[in-house]
Structure 1
Amino acid sequence: MNGGSSASGANTWHGPHSTVVRHAARIPDRTAVVVGGESLTWRELDGASAALAARLTAAGVRPGRVVVLYRQQCVETVVGMVAAARIGAAWCVAEPAHPVAMLHALLDDVDCGAVVFDPGDPATPADAVRRLVAEGRTAVPAVLEGHDPVVPAQVPADAVDMPGSAPAYVITTSGTTGRPKAVIVTADNLITMLDSRRYDAPPPADAPYPPDGPVSFSAMRLTWDGALLLTLWALWTGGTAVLPGHEELTDAEATARLVGTRRVTHLAATPSFYRLMLPVMAGFDSHLRLVVLAGEALPVPVVERHRALLPDVEVLNEYGPTEVTITCVAHPVRGPLAPTVPIGRPTGECTAYVLDGRLSPVAPGVLGELYVGGRQVAAGYAARPGLTSTRFVADPFDDRPGARLYRTGDLTLTNEHGELEFHGRSDGQVKIRGVRLERQAVTAAVESHPAVGQAAVLPVPNEHGETTLVAFWTPAAGAEALPGVRELLAHCARQLVAQAVPERFVVVDAFPLGRTGKTDEAALCAQLPAAAPAAARGRRRWTPLQQSLGALWAAVLQHDDFGLDDTFFDVGGNSRRVIDLHLRIERDWPGALRVGRLFDLPTVAAQAKALETVRAEAPAAGPEPAPGTDGPAAGARSDGPVLFEI
Structure 2
Amino acid sequence: MAFHAVHTLVRHVAERHPQRIAVEDPRGALTYAALEALSDQVATELSAVGATAGDFVLVLAEDRREVIAAVLGVLNIGGVFVPLDVTGPRDQVADVLADTAARYAVVGSGRPDHTAKLPVTTVAVDATKRMAPTRPVSSSHRPAPDDPCYLFYTSGSTGRPKGILGRLSGIDHYVRWETDLLGVTDEWRVSQLTTPAFDAMLRDFFVPLTVGGTVCVPPTGAVLDPPKLLTWLDEQQITLMHCVPSVFHTLVDAASRSDAELAALRVVATAGERLPTGDVERWFERYGQRIGLLNLYGPSETTMTKTYHQVTASDVDLPSIPIGTPMPGAEVLVLDERRRPCPPGDLGEIYIRTPYRSLGYHNRAEATRAAFVPNPLTGDADDVVYRTGDLARQLPGGALEYIGRSDHQVKIAGVRVELSGVESVLETHPAVEKAAVAAFDGPEDVPYLCAFVELSSRADDGELRGHLRATLPEAMVPAVFVRLEELPRTISGKIDRRALPEPVPADDSELDAFPPRTPTEEALARLWTRMLPVGHVGVRHEFFDLGGRSLQVMRMLTQVRQEFGVEVPLADFLAAPTVECLARRLDEETRVRATLSGESGDGPR
TM-score for both structures, normalised by structure 2: 0.87
The correspondence of residues 283-302 of structure 1 with structure 2, limited to 5 A, is 283-302=260-279
Range 443-452 or range 268-277, more displaced: 443-452
Q: CA deviation at 1:48?
A: 1.7
Say yes or no: does 1:308 pair with 2:285: yes
- Residue 178 of structure 2 aligns to a residue whose secondary structure is coil
- Pick one of 546, 550, 560 that aligns with 1:575: 550
Q: CA deviation at 1:154?
A: 11
Question: Aligned in 2, Cα 1:391/1:563: closer, same or farther, shift over 3 Å?
Answer: same
Range 374-383 or range 616-625, more displaced: 616-625
Q: Matched residues in 1 for 2:124 and 2:56: separation?
A: 19
Range 596-605 or range 104-113, more displaced: 596-605
- Pick one of 426, 443, 467 that aligns with 1:491: 467
Residue-by-residue CA offset, 1:183-229 (whole Å, 9 max, x unaligned) = 111111221222322456469xxxxx8xx611112432221112322
- Residue number in structure 2 paired with 1:188: 169
- Pick one of 379, 382, 385 that aligns with 1:405: 385
- Residue number in structure 2 paired with 1:178: 159
Q: Matched residues in 2 for 1:44 and 1:409: separation?
A: 44
Q: Matched residues in 2 for 1:83 and 1:413: separation?
A: 43
Q: CA deviation at 1:600?
A: 4.9
Q: CA deviation at 1:31?
A: 2.0
Say yes or no: does 1:129 pair with 2:99: no
Q: Matched residues in 2 for 1:533 and 1:37: separation?
A: 45
- Pick one of 329, 351, 356 that aligns with 2:307: 329
Q: Matched residues in 1 for 2:45 and 2:132: separation?
A: 9
Given residue 589 of structure 1, which amino acid in structure 2 is its aligned partner?
A: F
- Residue number in structure 2 paired with 1:391: 371
- Residue number in structure 2 paired with 1:110: 100
The correspondence of residues 86-485 of structure 1 with structure 2, limited to 5 A, is 86-110=76-100, 112-118=102-108, 120-121=110-111, 124-125=112-113, 129-131=115-117, 133-134=118-119, 141-143=120-122, 156-157=137-138, 161-198=142-179, 201=182, 213-244=187-218, 247-281=221-255, 282=258, 283-312=260-289, 313-334=291-312, 335-337=314-316, 338-395=318-375, 402-474=382-454, 476-477=455-456, 479=457, 481=458, 483-485=459-461
Q: CA deviation at 1:179?
A: 1.1
Q: Matched residues in 1 for 2:140 and 2:584: separation?
A: 56
- Pick one of 585, 602, 605 that aligns with 1:624: 602
Q: CA deviation at 1:380?
A: 0.9
Q: Matched residues in 1 for 2:397 and 2:310: separation?
A: 13
Given residue 314 of structure 1, which amino acid in structure 2 is its aligned partner?
A: G
Q: CA deviation at 1:326?
A: 0.2
Q: Matched residues in 1 for 2:105 and 2:538: separation?
A: 38
Given residue 306 of structure 1, which amino acid in structure 2 is its aligned partner?
A: W
Q: CA deviation at 1:431?
A: 1.2
Q: CA deviation at 1:443?
A: 2.1
8 Å CA contact 1:71, 1:77 repeated in 2: yes
Q: Matched residues in 1 for 2:61 and 2:517: separation?
A: 39
8 Å CA contact 2:104, 2:122 repeated in 1: no
8 Å CA contact 2:37, 2:133 repeated in 1: no
The correspondence of residues 533-572 of structure 1 with structure 2, limited to 5 A, is 536-539=511-514, 549=524, 552-553=527-528, 556-559=531-534, 564=540, 568-569=543-544, 572=547
Residue-by-residue CA offset, 1:387-439 (whole Å, 9 max, x unaligned) = 11111122366799934211111112222222222111121111111111111
8 Å CA contact 1:368, 1:411 repeated in 2: yes
The number of residues matched between the two structures is 593
Residue-by-residue CA offset, 1:505-525 (whole Å, 9 max, x unaligned) = 233455456799865656645
Range 85-94 or range 24-33, more displaced: 24-33
Instruction: Structure 2 unaligned segments of length 5 or more: list them.
Output: none
Range 215-224 or range 108-117, more displaced: 108-117
- Pick one of 474, 480, 504 that aligns with 1:528: 504
Given residue 551 of structure 2, which amino acid in structure 1 is its aligned partner?
A: R
Q: CA deviation at 1:37?
A: 4.7
Q: Matched residues in 1 for 2:315 and 2:84: separation?
A: 41
Q: Matched residues in 1 for 2:300 and 2:247: separation?
A: 19
Given residue 197 of structure 1, which amino acid in structure 2 is its aligned partner?
A: E
Range 312-321 or range 46-55, more displaced: 46-55
- Residue 72 of structure 1 aligns to a residue whose secondary structure is coil
- Residue 169 of structure 1 aligns to a residue whose secondary structure is strand
8 Å CA contact 2:189, 2:213 repeated in 1: yes
- Identity over aligned pairs, percent: 27
- Residue 406 of structure 1 aligns to a residue whose secondary structure is strand
- Residue number in structure 1 paired with 2:586: 611
- Pick one of 40, 56, 59 that aligns with 1:69: 59
- Residue 83 of structure 1 aligns to a residue whose secondary structure is helix
Given residue 617 of structure 1, which amino acid in structure 2 is its aligned partner?
A: V
Residue-by-residue CA offset, 1:18-56 (whole Å, 9 max, x unaligned) = 233222233233221224454322222122222222222
What RMSD in Å do the two structures reach over aligned CA positions? 3.6
- Residue 179 of structure 1 aligns to a residue whose secondary structure is coil
Q: Matched residues in 1 for 2:576 and 2:279: separation?
A: 29
Q: Matched residues in 2 for 1:416 and 1:540: separation?
A: 54
Range 62-71 or range 388-397, more displaced: 388-397
8 Å CA contact 2:85, 2:196 repeated in 1: no
Given residue 239 of structure 1, which amino acid in structure 2 is its aligned partner?
A: G
Q: CA deviation at 1:455?
A: 2.8
Question: Aligned in 2, Cα 1:592/1:255: closer, same or farther, shift over 3 Å?
Answer: closer
Range 151-160 or range 95-104, more displaced: 151-160
Q: CA deviation at 1:376?
A: 1.6
Question: Aligned in 2, Cα 1:404/1:49: closer, same or farther, shift over 3 Å?
Answer: same
Question: Aligned in 2, Cα 1:623/1:596: closer, same or farther, shift over 3 Å?
Answer: farther
Given residue 62 of structure 2, which amino acid in structure 1 is its aligned partner?
A: Q
Say yes or no: does 1:500 pair with 2:481: no
Higher relative contact order structure (alpha carbons within 8 Å, sequence separation ≥ 6): 1
Instruction: Structure 1 unaligned segments of length 5 or more: list them.
Output: 7-12, 135-140, 204-208, 632-646
- Residue number in structure 1 paired with 2:72: 82
Question: Aligned in 2, Cα 1:414/1:183: closer, same or farther, shift over 3 Å?
Answer: same
Residue-by-residue CA offset, 1:116-139 (whole Å, 9 max, x unaligned) = 224633xx42xx5343x33xxxxx
Residue-by-residue CA offset, 1:512-544 (whole Å, 9 max, x unaligned) = 567998656566453433x99899333489777
- Residue 169 of structure 2 aligns to a residue whose secondary structure is helix
- Residue 486 of structure 1 aligns to a residue whose secondary structure is helix
TM-score for both structures, normalised by structure 1: 0.82
Q: Matched residues in 2 for 1:199 and 1:164: separation?
A: 20
Question: Aligned in 2, Cα 1:424/1:201: closer, same or farther, shift over 3 Å?
Answer: closer
8 Å CA contact 1:365, 1:414 repeated in 2: yes
Residue-by-residue CA offset, 1:238-271 (whole Å, 9 max, x unaligned) = 1112234654444444333332222111111111
Say yes or no: does 1:5 pair with 2:2: yes
8 Å CA contact 1:251, 1:596 repeated in 2: no
8 Å CA contact 2:88, 2:473 repeated in 1: yes
8 Å CA contact 2:179, 2:207 repeated in 1: no
Question: Aligned in 2, Cα 1:201/1:99: closer, same or farther, shift over 3 Å?
Answer: closer
Question: Aligned in 2, Cα 1:252/1:563: closer, same or farther, shift over 3 Å?
Answer: same
Q: Matched residues in 2 for 1:533 and 1:557: separation?
A: 14
Q: Matched residues in 2 for 1:146 and 1:363: separation?
A: 54
Q: Matched residues in 1 for 2:525 and 2:92: separation?
A: 35
